[in-house]
Amino acid sequence: MTPRELADGDSDLSLAQWALERARARGATAVEVLTSTAEALSAGVRLGEVEKLKSSRERRIGLRVFVERSSACASTAELSRDGLDRFIEETIALARVTARDPWSGLPPAQLHPREIPQLNLADSEHGVVGAERALDMARRAERAALSSNPAITNSEGAEFHSGWHRLTFLNSQGFGASYEATSYSLVATPIAQANGSMQRDYWYTAARRYDQLQEPEEVGLIAGQRARRRLGARKIRTTKAPVVFDPEMGAGLISAVAAAACGHALYAGASFLKDKLGTQIAAPQVELIDDPTIVGGLGSRPFDGEGAAAYRKALITNGELKTYLLDSYSARKLGLASTGNAARGIGGPPSAAPTNLYLAPGYESPEQIIRSVEKGLLVTELIGFGINLVTGDYSRGAAGFWIEGGEIAYPVEEITIAGNLSQMMRDIVMIGNDLHWRSWVAAPSIKIAEMTIAGA
């Protein structure tokens, strides 16, 4: 849908146009208006009984106004014309008393897309799932987990969520567009118990379309297996050894790297990737990609939080840092161009963030990666956020499985893994072929040559 194809009768669009015109009439030199209309339903059960049932509907309008180089952001759910007029007046008054910032302003007009890509983000057939079906999905997942193994004796529950939203964006440069999106997710968290040991784990599925979710029975079965395999976890002695990140933990690792490549961290001098463009920062086989144009992707969007065009970009190619992730403000401060990565809440200023972020898969299966390890660690859980983006220092609590002779030997817990992100990225020696999307960040299994593993 192109901006011209937006229907004049669309209530969100009419509201946004009215607010934009009022803001300009009251003295704003530039304006962005967002409207968000959303519905959601969440249903949770524990041991078959309803523990949570929540339905919500919301309609809000957000405003970013500029008075020359001063700006202010705000949002409101008060949408009467009188109330909205006062809101606009107060937001402009706030901008007038805000300090001038030479880097502020709308993005260059040439960054706005001429056509809006069709990304298939909304499931119009299912929409927001009703309470009865949502509870049934949660019950089926939990029941499958509890029956997966005699050791599964309890549950922290299962939860199903579905949501729909429509976002409309207008600015005073003449750009306007709108899109709808849905999302669905299901998670089960069983508890296993045997010989005085108790462990919990989880599994989940998430998608833009309802029929792309894993079956509840499959979610529950995997969750039960994951909890059962952690029973009998041991402590290990402090050592240095290879570390394999499973896909869920690998996704967290690349998220940290992407965070260091985002605009605010860079211009604030709070990133170990500052001034690293064009340099080798990872092993040659590493390709890290940000792609907001994946059809049906959980992080997909047809334009960014400032209305700039969305496009695929490789952050790292052959181990070399090729680009940062920038909104227009950070791009100006760094003397670079926006990469269309502005993200924002309905009432906040934009800042750079990844969209669909993934590490390109390699050729080895997870089993081949495990077989390559004589003695080492498979990480399946990370605890805390011990990452210093300024230095790249990395230290996190962990749990997983000890590997002996290329085979899983036993579960381990109460350990810490430590290293430095710069060295860890260079020490990636194997990348798995097991890339699967369950979030807006995805990675296959990753083997790092050596890290410090602190135990007993």
Domains and CATH numbers, the chain: 3-226 (3.30.2290.10), 233-456 (no CATH)
248: left (phi over 0), alpha (psi -120 to 50) or beta: alpha
Q: How confident is the model at residue 456 (pLDDT cuts 50, 70, 90)?
A: low
Query: What per-residue confidence (pLDDT) applies to 289?
Result: 98
CA dihedral 332, 333, 339, 343 (to 10 degrees): -110
335: left (phi over 0), alpha (psi -120 to 50) or beta: left
Which run of H or of E encompasses 321? strand 320-321
What's the per-residue H, E or C state across 356-413?
CEEECCCCECHHHHHHCCCEEEEEEEEECCCECCCCCEEEEEEEEEEEECCEEEEEEE
Q: 19-28, 131-140, 192-201, 439-448: which has the minimum mean pLDDT? A: 192-201
Task: Read off the amino acid at residue 19.
Answer: A
Query: What per-residue confidence (pLDDT) applies to 412?
Result: 97
Q: How confident is the model at residue 8 (pLDDT cuts 50, 70, 90)?
A: very low
Q: What is the pLDDT of residues 339-387, one digit of tens each?
A: 999 999 999 999 999 999 999 999 999 999 999 999 999 999 999 889 9
CB atoms within 10 A of CB 393: 15
3-state secondary structure of 342: strand
> Please, which residues have CB within 8 angstroms of residue 342's CB and are 6 or more apart in sequence?
107, 304, 305, 306, 308, 327, 328, 350, 351, 352
Q: In whole angstroms, what is the distance from residue 24 CA to residue 69 CA? A: 15
Q: What is the pLDDT of residues 14-39, one digit of tens each?
A: 999 999 999 999 999 999 999 999 99
> Please, which residues have CB within 8 angstroms of residue 327's CB and are 6 or more apart in sequence?
107, 263, 304, 305, 306, 338, 341, 342, 343, 350, 351, 352
Q: How confident is the model at residue 315 (pLDDT cuts 50, 70, 90)?
A: very high
> What is the pTM for the complete model shown?
0.94
β-pairing, 197-200 vs 203-207, is unpaired
Average pLDDT, stretch 72-91? Answer: 95
Q: In whole angstroms, what is the distance from residue 40 CA to residue 358 CA? A: 27
Average pLDDT, stretch 39-45? Answer: 98
Query: What per-residue confidence (pLDDT) applies to 195?
Result: 86
> Please, which residues have CB within 8 angstroms of residue 83's CB and are 6 or more apart in sequence?
76
Residue position matching structure tokens 């949660």: 138
Average pLDDT, stretch 259-266? Answer: 97
Average pLDDT in the chain: 95
Q: What is the pLDDT of residues 111-132, one digit of tens each?
A: 999 999 999 999 999 999 999 9
Strand-by-strand arrangement of the 357-359 sheet: 320-321, 313-317, 288-290, 357-359, 441-442
Length in residues, the chain: 456
Cβ atoms 358, 372 nearer than 8 A = no
